[in-house]
Protein backbone atom coordinates (compact mmCIF):
# COMPACT_ATOMS: atom_id res chain seq x y z
CA UNK A 1 0.00 0.00 0.00
CA UNK A 2 2.67 2.57 0.79
CA UNK A 3 3.90 2.33 -2.82
CA UNK A 4 0.60 3.57 -4.30
CA UNK A 5 0.71 7.08 -2.78
CA UNK A 6 4.33 7.38 -3.92
CA UNK A 7 3.35 6.46 -7.48
CA UNK A 8 0.45 8.94 -7.43
CA UNK A 9 2.74 11.65 -6.08
CA UNK A 10 5.39 10.87 -8.70
CA UNK A 11 2.78 10.92 -11.45
CA UNK A 12 1.38 14.23 -10.16
CA UNK A 13 4.86 15.76 -10.08
CA UNK A 14 5.58 14.51 -13.60
CA UNK A 15 2.32 15.95 -14.90
CA UNK A 16 2.93 19.24 -13.10
CA UNK A 17 6.31 19.39 -14.82
CA UNK A 18 4.46 19.13 -18.15
CA UNK A 19 2.00 21.88 -17.14
CA UNK A 20 -1.02 19.57 -16.81
CA UNK A 21 -3.15 20.10 -13.73
CA UNK A 22 -5.48 17.76 -11.89
CA UNK A 23 -8.51 19.67 -13.19
CA UNK A 24 -7.34 18.96 -16.73
CA UNK A 25 -6.95 15.32 -15.88
CA UNK A 26 -10.50 15.10 -14.54
CA UNK A 27 -11.86 16.12 -17.95
CA UNK A 28 -9.76 13.64 -19.89
CA UNK A 29 -11.62 10.41 -19.09
CA UNK A 30 -15.00 11.79 -20.23
CA UNK A 31 -13.52 12.99 -23.51
CA UNK A 32 -11.63 9.76 -24.04
CA UNK A 33 -14.71 7.64 -23.29
CA UNK A 34 -16.73 9.29 -26.08
CA UNK A 35 -14.03 8.89 -28.66
CA UNK A 36 -13.60 12.63 -29.14
CA UNK A 37 -17.22 13.43 -30.04
CA UNK A 38 -17.61 15.58 -26.93
CA UNK A 39 -14.80 17.73 -28.23
CA UNK A 40 -16.59 18.12 -31.57
CA UNK A 41 -19.89 18.90 -29.84
CA UNK A 42 -18.16 21.36 -27.54
CA UNK A 43 -16.49 23.16 -30.42
CA UNK A 44 -19.80 23.30 -32.33
CA UNK A 45 -21.60 24.67 -29.27
CA UNK A 46 -18.81 27.19 -28.71
CA UNK A 47 -18.98 28.29 -32.36
CA UNK A 48 -22.76 28.76 -32.14
CA UNK A 49 -22.41 30.77 -28.93
CA UNK A 50 -19.70 32.90 -30.56
CA UNK A 51 -21.92 33.56 -33.60
CA UNK A 52 -24.88 34.46 -31.39
CA UNK A 53 -22.71 36.76 -29.28
CA UNK A 54 -21.38 38.44 -32.42
CA UNK A 55 -24.92 38.88 -33.79
CA UNK A 56 -26.21 40.36 -30.51
CA UNK A 57 -23.16 42.60 -30.34
CA UNK A 58 -23.77 43.84 -33.90
CA UNK A 59 -27.45 44.48 -33.12
CA UNK A 60 -26.48 46.49 -30.02
CA UNK A 61 -23.95 48.44 -32.04
CA UNK A 62 -26.57 49.37 -34.65
CA UNK A 63 -29.15 50.20 -31.95
CA UNK A 64 -26.66 52.50 -30.24
CA UNK A 65 -25.86 54.20 -33.55
CA UNK A 66 -29.56 54.73 -34.26
CA UNK A 67 -29.94 56.42 -30.86
CA UNK A 68 -26.85 58.47 -31.58
CA UNK A 69 -28.40 59.58 -34.91
CA UNK A 70 -31.52 60.66 -33.02
CA UNK A 71 -29.40 62.68 -30.60
CA UNK A 72 -27.46 64.31 -33.45
CA UNK A 73 -30.74 65.29 -35.14
CA UNK A 74 -32.00 66.77 -31.86
CA UNK A 75 -28.87 68.96 -31.67
CA UNK A 76 -29.80 70.42 -35.08
CA UNK A 77 -33.04 71.96 -33.75
CA UNK A 78 -33.21 75.56 -34.81
CA UNK A 79 -31.12 75.08 -37.96
CA UNK A 80 -32.69 76.55 -41.10
CA UNK A 81 -34.43 74.60 -43.86
CA UNK A 82 -32.82 74.72 -47.29
CA UNK A 83 -33.94 72.61 -50.22
CA UNK A 84 -31.29 70.00 -51.07
CA UNK A 85 -29.16 70.84 -48.02
CA UNK A 86 -27.58 68.12 -45.89
CA UNK A 87 -25.88 70.12 -43.15
CA UNK A 88 -24.07 71.00 -41.13
CA UNK A 89 -26.22 74.10 -40.48
CA UNK A 90 -28.99 73.88 -43.14
CA UNK A 91 -31.14 70.86 -43.95
CA UNK A 92 -34.02 69.58 -45.96
CA UNK A 93 -35.93 66.64 -44.45
CA UNK A 94 -33.88 63.81 -45.98
CA UNK A 95 -30.68 65.81 -45.56
CA UNK A 96 -31.29 65.89 -41.80
CA UNK A 97 -31.80 62.12 -41.75
CA UNK A 98 -28.71 61.47 -43.86
CA UNK A 99 -26.52 63.88 -41.88
CA UNK A 100 -27.62 62.47 -38.51
CA UNK A 101 -27.27 58.84 -39.50
CA UNK A 102 -23.95 59.28 -41.30
CA UNK A 103 -22.48 61.16 -38.32
CA UNK A 104 -23.59 58.19 -36.20
CA UNK A 105 -21.81 55.77 -38.54
CA UNK A 106 -24.79 54.47 -40.52
CA UNK A 107 -25.12 54.85 -44.26
CA UNK A 108 -28.46 55.98 -45.70
CA UNK A 109 -29.29 57.33 -49.17
CA UNK A 110 -29.75 61.05 -49.85
CA UNK A 111 -33.44 61.34 -50.78
CA UNK A 112 -36.49 60.47 -48.66
CA UNK A 113 -37.77 58.12 -51.36
CA UNK A 114 -34.44 56.24 -51.49
CA UNK A 115 -34.27 56.18 -47.68
CA UNK A 116 -37.74 54.62 -47.57
CA UNK A 117 -36.61 52.04 -50.11
CA UNK A 118 -33.58 51.05 -48.03
CA UNK A 119 -35.30 51.00 -44.64
CA UNK A 120 -37.01 47.86 -43.41
CA UNK A 121 -40.69 48.63 -43.02
CA UNK A 122 -42.09 48.00 -39.53
CA UNK A 123 -45.44 48.41 -37.79
CA UNK A 124 -45.99 51.80 -36.18
CA UNK A 125 -46.57 50.10 -32.83
CA UNK A 126 -43.08 48.53 -33.06
CA UNK A 127 -41.24 51.81 -33.54
CA UNK A 128 -38.36 52.65 -31.27
CA UNK A 129 -36.71 56.00 -30.77
CA UNK A 130 -34.46 56.83 -33.72
CA UNK A 131 -36.50 54.88 -36.27
CA UNK A 132 -37.68 56.66 -39.39
CA UNK A 133 -41.04 58.05 -40.47
CA UNK A 134 -41.89 58.38 -44.17
CA UNK A 135 -44.77 60.54 -45.39
CA UNK A 136 -46.41 59.65 -48.68
CA UNK A 137 -49.00 60.85 -51.12
CA UNK A 138 -50.08 60.07 -54.67
CA UNK A 139 -46.57 60.89 -55.89
CA UNK A 140 -44.84 58.54 -53.43
CA UNK A 141 -42.69 59.38 -50.40
CA UNK A 142 -42.20 63.13 -50.07
CA UNK A 143 -40.97 63.66 -46.48
CA UNK A 144 -38.81 61.91 -43.88
CA UNK A 145 -38.46 62.40 -40.13
CA UNK A 146 -36.83 60.72 -37.13
CA UNK A 147 -39.19 59.19 -34.58
CA UNK A 148 -38.67 60.21 -30.95
CA UNK A 149 -41.53 58.72 -28.91
CA UNK A 150 -45.27 58.27 -28.55
CA UNK A 151 -47.17 60.95 -26.62
CA UNK A 152 -50.91 60.73 -25.98
CA UNK A 153 -51.37 58.44 -28.95
CA UNK A 154 -49.39 60.63 -31.34
CA UNK A 155 -45.94 60.08 -32.75
CA UNK A 156 -43.42 62.76 -31.87
CA UNK A 157 -40.67 63.39 -34.41
CA UNK A 158 -37.76 65.66 -35.19
CA UNK A 159 -37.73 66.92 -38.77
CA UNK A 160 -36.89 69.76 -41.11
CA UNK A 161 -40.40 70.81 -42.18
CA UNK A 162 -40.03 73.12 -45.15
CA UNK A 163 -39.15 76.47 -46.65
CA UNK A 164 -38.98 79.33 -44.14
CA UNK A 165 -39.01 76.92 -41.18
CA UNK A 166 -36.40 75.41 -38.90
CA UNK A 167 -35.56 71.91 -37.68
CA UNK A 168 -37.96 71.18 -34.84
CA UNK A 169 -39.85 68.61 -32.81
CA UNK A 170 -43.46 68.12 -33.91
CA UNK A 171 -46.32 65.66 -34.32
CA UNK A 172 -47.37 64.50 -37.81
CA UNK A 173 -49.93 66.64 -39.65
CA UNK A 174 -51.33 63.55 -41.40
CA UNK A 175 -51.78 59.84 -40.82
CA UNK A 176 -50.38 59.07 -44.29
CA UNK A 177 -46.99 57.89 -43.11
CA UNK A 178 -45.27 54.59 -42.45
CA UNK A 179 -42.45 53.48 -40.20
CA UNK A 180 -39.06 52.18 -41.22
CA UNK A 181 -35.88 51.15 -39.49
CA UNK A 182 -32.27 50.39 -40.35
CA UNK A 183 -32.18 47.87 -37.50
CA UNK A 184 -32.24 44.29 -38.74
CA UNK A 185 -34.66 41.92 -37.01
143 counts as catalytic? yes
- Alpha-carbon distance of 69 to 105, in angstroms, equals 8
Phi then psi for 123, rounded to 5 degrees?
-70, 145
DSSP codes joined into one string, 19-52? T--HHHHHHHHHHHHTTTHHHHHHHHHHHHHHHH
Exactly one of 65, 90, 98, 143 is catalytic; which is it?
143
CA–CA dist 155, 47 (Å, integer)? 42
Among residues 73, 93, 158, 182, the one annotated as catalytic is: 93
Active site (annotated) includes residue 93: yes
Catalytic residue among 95, 146, 159, 181: 159
Q: Which residues are catalytic?
A: 93, 143, 159
Amino acid sequence: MPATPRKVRALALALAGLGITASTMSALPATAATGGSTSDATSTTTAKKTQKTARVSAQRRVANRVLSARDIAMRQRGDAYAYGAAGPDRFDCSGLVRYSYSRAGLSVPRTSSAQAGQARRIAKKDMRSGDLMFFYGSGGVYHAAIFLRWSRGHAVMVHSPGSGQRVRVAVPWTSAWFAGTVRRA
